[in-house]
Amino acid sequence: MHITEKGQVTIPHHIREQFGLLPHTEVDFIVKDGDILLVKKVGSSPLEKMRGIAKGKFTTDEIMELTRK
């Protein structure tokens, strides 16, 4: 693995899948004891950002019935 001229590195697919690193996931770099750590910011995935914003009062069964029509 190498760093491009633009300072970019490709995170291997199996690492992205294992840790849920989806496109647009926010990450931080932390320096600790001379090492550089890449950490996923809490609540940074697109789905986590949307959690709790819906205002509807439908039950799961009602939603399923609507989607089947």
Say which residue, 41 or 50, is predicted with more confidence: 41
Task: Give me the helices (H) in the chain, please.
Answer: 13-19, 46-50, 60-68
pLDDT reported for residue 55: 75
Would you give the DSSP letter of residue 41?
Answer: P
Domain ranges of the chain: 13-68
Q: How confident is the model at residue 43 (pLDDT cuts 50, 70, 90)?
A: low
pLDDT tens-digit series, residues 11-38:
999 999 998 888 888 899 999 999 999 9
Judged by DSSP in three states, 29 sits in: strand
